[in-house]
Amino acid sequence: MAITYISTNSEKLNNSIERGLSAKIEGNKNRFSNKKIKIIALTFIGICLVLAVIIWGVCREENQPKKANIKIKNEQINSTIAETNKFKSFVFFELSPQIEGNAFLEWFNGDTWVSYIYVYEPESVLELGIRPAFIANAARNPEVPEGYHFRPPTGWMNDPNGFSKFGQHFHLFYQNYPHALKWFPMHWGHAVSRDLVNWVHLPIFLLPDPSFDVNTTGGIFSGSAISFPNELKIFYTDSLIGRIPMEFQKMVSTINGIHPNELSKTVIPEGPSKLNLTQDFRDPNVILGPDGKWKMILGSRDSQGGVILLYGTDDPTAQSGWHFLNVLYRDNRLGMTVAECSGLAPIDGNPQDPNTLWALIYAQLNSTDPATGRRDITTVHVGKFDGTTFTPMFEQEMDFGTHAYAFQALYSQELGTLTIAWLANWKDWNWDTKPDFPTSTILPRKLFLSADRKSLLTPPIDWVISKLRNQQLDLDKQLLKGQFVDLPNGTAEISISLQNFQSNILEPISSDQRSSNNSNNENLKFIRLEIEHPKITNVGVEISFEGIEILYGLPKQPQQRLIALGAKPSQVQILLDTGSIEVFADGGRWTGTVRIPGTNKFTKIRLIGDLSLVTRSEIWGLKPAEFKGKLQIKK
C-alpha cells in the first residue's frame, strides 16, 4: 500500500518511507475560496479487508453552517466517510475500507480540521506498527532522530501506564493527548517492545468519554496491567473534575494486545466513605499479594495529606469483588497533597515468599523540600507486606533530580523488578508550556536491594545499555587530563571511578570556585563533569563535600538544587540524551534525572576539579532507538 499526500497550503507534509510508503507534495488553490482543500491519496494493493483507517476531525468554527466532513473518492465511489458538527472536541472515526487500487481522502480546510490520521493492518501491527498518514502541525513532536528515550508518535505524554510483559512483548501504555503538545483530556497511548530499547507504536488503546470537550480536566487517568496466560487486564481511573464521584476505577481486557476485547466495566465506583477523603481517588496499581490474592493500591488524600489505600479481591480473575482492606500508609510531610501513582513491588524475591521485602513507591504531589527547593518528590519505603499491612524498614528518594515521576514497576520471575517513569515533573509544566517540552520516559531501570539490604538500588538495565552502546570514545583518555571530549551524536554514557573518595573530606565550594573560568579549579576538592550545551549554561554533574548534584542554569526558574545531600559515591554513570541527563551513583544507590528544555544536542564534556581523585573513565557514544510507526518528516 502507498500513501500520497496532496496539500494546497505551505504546511510541511508528512513523508514516511517505512515499508514502501511514499509521499510527494502537490496542490492547487481552491478557485472559489482562499481556504484550501487537503487530500491524502491511498493506493490499496489488492483488496484490503483488514486495513483500519483512523481519523480524528472537528469543525473549524462553532455553529458553522456546514458539518466537518471527510470524503473518500476514486473512480467508483465519492462518499462521506466521516462527518461531525462538534467544535470543541475531536471525533474519532475507525474505518475498514474494502477498496482496490487508488482512493483519496479529501476535506475542505475551511470547515474541517483534521488532527491525526493513521492506518494499520491488525495482523502485522505488533511488528510493523501504525502508519501515520497525517498529523496536524499542532500535534507534531519535535524531531529527535538521535534520541534513545521512548517518545510518543504525536502529541503530549506524561505518566507511563500498564507497564507489563504479555507474550513476547513488553507493553507500555501512557497518558497521551494526541492532538496537541499540551495536557488535555487523557487518552492511553500504546507501544510494545521486545528489548525495552526499540519500540513499535500501536493504535491508541483507550479514549476519553466522547462528550468531553477540549477544556475538560479529566479523561482516562493512570493505571496498571496484569498478565494472564491468554489475556492482559487493564485497570485505570476514569476522571472528570466536577463530577461526583470525581474518580472511579475501571477495568478492560485485551486478548490480542492491540484492542480492548469489550467495553470497560467499573470495578470500584467510589472511595471508602468513612475515611473523609477528598475526591482524589486514582492510579490503581494491581499486584499479586503474598497470600496469592489480587491487591489494588490507590492514592488519595485527606485534610492532613496523602493517603495510600489497599483494596483486595478473592476473585482469581481480578474482575470483580474488589473491597477496601486498609489504609496502607499516610504521609503529610513537605506540604504534599495527593499520594499520586502509588505502587507496591517485590524487590528481593518471589512475592509469595513471606520473607520478601517490598518497595512502596509514591509521588508526593505539591511537596517542597525546604533544604533544596525541589518539588513533587517521589519517595520509596522498603519493608514487609503481609497482604493487608505494610511495615516500613527504611526510606529513600527514588530520584534526587525529581524529573522522574509516576514510577511504574513490572515484576517477573525471570527479570526481577523493572521500573519506568515520566521524564519530567509537574513543577516545570504549565498551560503556557512551549511545544519544545520534551515528552519522554526515563530509560528503564532495575529495582533491587543492596548486598547489605540497607539501600534500594535503581541502576539502568544492563542489557539495555549494552544494546545502546555504539562506539567507544576518548580512547586516549583526554577526559582524565581535563581536556574536552567531543560527543559526535550528542548522546553518551560516561562512567568514572573515584579513588578513596569517601576518605577524602571534600570542602564546600562557592559559586565562584565552581566557574570553569577559575584557573585554580584543578586544585579544589570537588569533581565536576562539565557538559557543553548550546542554549543552557553551567550544565554538569558535580561531586563535592555536600553530595552529588546535577547543575544547570535556566532563566526564570525557581531556585532549586538537584542534589543528593551527603552522598559520597565511588562510581558514577551518566547518560546523556537530547533533552535529558540521568545520573547513577554507586550502582543506582543515588539516582538523579533532569529534563533539559528544547531539542539541542550536547556537544562536548570535560572534567574539572581535583582530577587526582579520578582513577578511571570510559565514554561510549549511544545509538538511537528505533521507533516503528513514528512519523518521518521530509526536510
Residues forming the active site: 159
Which residue is listed with cell 488532527? 115
User: What stretch of H or E contains 512?
Assistant: helix 511-514
Do the Cβ atoms of 152 and 176 come closer than 8 Å?
yes
Residues with Cβ within 8 Å of 553's Cβ and at least 6 positions away in sequence, in order, are 536, 537, 538, 539
SS (H, E, C) 442-486: CCCEECEECCCCCCEECCECHHHHHHHEEEEECCCCCHHHCCCEE
Residues with Cβ within 8 Å of 628's Cβ and at least 6 positions away in sequence, in order, are 18, 127, 128, 129, 198, 199, 200, 201
Q: How far is CA 78 from the centre of its chain?
A: 41
Alpha helix (H) residue ranges in 225-310? none
Residues with Cβ within 8 Å of 510's Cβ and at least 6 positions away in sequence, in order, are none
Q: 362 burial class (0-12, 13-18, 19+ CB within 10 angstroms)?
A: buried
Which of 99, 144, 9, 57 is CA-nearest to residue 595?
144
Whole-angstrom distance, CA of residue 241 vs CA of residue 19: 43
From residue 586, alpha-carbon distances to 96, 148, 377, 491, 502 in Å are: 54, 23, 21, 22, 12
Whole-angstrom distance, CA of residue 95 vs CA of residue 81: 8
Three cell numbers, residue 195: 528489548
DSSP bridge pairs for 234: 225, 252
522 phi, psi to nearest 5 deg: -65, -15
* CA 13, 15, 21, 27 torsion-angle sign: positive
Residues with Cβ within 8 Å of 13's Cβ and at least 6 positions away in sequence, in order, are 5, 7, 23, 25, 634
Q: 406 burial class (0-12, 13-18, 19+ CB within 10 angstroms)?
A: buried
Which of 210, 220, 223, 268 is CA-nearest to residue 240?
220
From residue 415, alpha-carbon distances to 53, 170, 315, 633 in Å are: 37, 12, 27, 37
Which residue is listed with cell 496523602? 306
From residue 188, alpha-carbon distances to 91, 255, 256, 257, 632 in Å are: 16, 17, 17, 13, 22
Which residue is listed with cell 507504536? 201
Which residue is listed with cell 539502568? 460
Whole-angstrom distance, CA of residue 286 vs CA of residue 453: 26
